Structure 1
């Protein structure tokens, strides 16, 4: 299990953040603004472009983003194998803080022995999630509940949690909307990092465009960009609160 004693940064100094990306338009989004405000140094590794995962030891936080591929598609995307190994090493052996979003959430689950599979239908657009009993007292998510609005774009879900993990948020479509393993490893199935360019950029990805039309229909799909723009202040506030909470967990570790 996680040992806070091995954290690199336990003070208020700027952090070094390693970001694993699987598509150039699925980047940290609004988190980039918050990291710049605090002087954090972040390194993006574009795995789908063949970039290699660097030495993990200098980093304080690992953030793993979303992508159109599925966690089991190792033949099509062989870099998934070393990525899962790096996540496992980071979380289990090095005991350092982790935040996974969408695919990054699912990768956390399978890297630690959980199971991910296809949903009955894609979940795309706005949704309500409910904090679980564990989520209501969680230091990172506890202040959001009991029910809050999120932005979704996924067709797979965590089917079985890894040993030692707890579900923090759920809804009828997906029972593991957020999870925590140990003290500092978090996965969020939903997106809070969205910016004004998120929807048009993701709509240009064939797999995302297909899931969008399947889930919402052509009329609602066409209106999604405007609806997201109207709710950006809400999502930006959520992202900032998550960033503040994660930083507090890191810097106040005993």
Structure 2
């Protein structure tokens, strides 16, 4: 399998998914959109993985590459009909590109928190085998409120009604960060803007350090989640 990955910032990389891609003997091409790398010919790939990022889906003037990215997502899902998996911003881009709507949250969701799978998830090809409740890493100030046609909500949290969804039968998005591995959040915190954002949203430096520690605590369990997800994406 040949995986195409859209990356939106230097710090938010595919993490655990690169390990799963490698262990399965698959190949990956990472396109650094923030560095204005061009989107390659989509026909050459079997799976599209779209990562998170600090920008918002509507910030097309500041980040003009969002426009061709959304078009590529539409082409991938509607015309090529191949598997798609979006993380955080990639989740929001899925919603936006297919006619839904995302808006700023009244209160951002950040930290290691629990999500609950919905009844819809029981029969879902990716989420069906997962536990009903999962602890995940959240870091977002935007949420999906209007979903594209043929959408099914697969997971929710107290703060966000759409933590995971499927559109039609081959496109998934998750608001949380399942790519997490040991050291991911500590690495993100080396960026002063990320660190300040976390302090502002959490309220103090001690809470930021707690998030770093908690994220490492769940990394092993998250790795199992991404392994299950990637294995099943290969079978779609």
TM-score by length of 1: 0.89
Partner of 2:33: 47
Residue 20 in structure 1 maps to residue 6 in structure 2: yes
Note closer, same or farther for the CA distance 1:51–1:192 as it changes in structure 2 (3 Å cut): same
Q: In the TM superposition, what are the counterparts of 1:35-74 in structure 2 within 5 Å?
A: 35-74=21-60
SS in 1 for 2:30: strand
Q: In the TM superposition, what are the counterparts of 1:221-240 in structure 2 within 5 Å?
A: 221-240=208-227
Note closer, same or farther for the CA distance 1:195–1:30 as it changes in structure 2 (3 Å cut): same
CA positional deviation for 1:207: 4.4
CA positional deviation for 1:137: 1.9
- After superposition, give the CA deviation of every residue in 1:81-131 in whole Å (9 maximum; x if it has no partner): 000000000001110100000000000000000001111111111111111
- After superposition, give the CA deviation of every residue in 1:125-181 in whole Å (9 maximum; x if it has no partner): 111111122112212112223222111111111111111111111112010000101
CA positional deviation for 1:227: 2.2
Contact 1:17–1:42 under 8 Å retained in 2: yes
Contact 2:151–2:167 under 8 Å retained in 1: yes
Q: 100, 115, 118: which is aligned to 1:129?
A: 115
Note closer, same or farther for the CA distance 1:157–1:207 as it changes in structure 2 (3 Å cut): farther
Contact 1:168–1:177 under 8 Å retained in 2: yes
Partner of 1:8: none
Residue 219 in structure 1 maps to residue 182 in structure 2: no
Partner of 2:180: 194
CA positional deviation for 1:37: 1.1
CA positional deviation for 1:201: 2.2
Equivalents in 1 of 2:103, 2:199: separation in Å? 21
SS in 1 for 2:44: coil
Contact 1:61–1:96 under 8 Å retained in 2: yes
- Aligned-residue CA RMSD (Å): 1.3
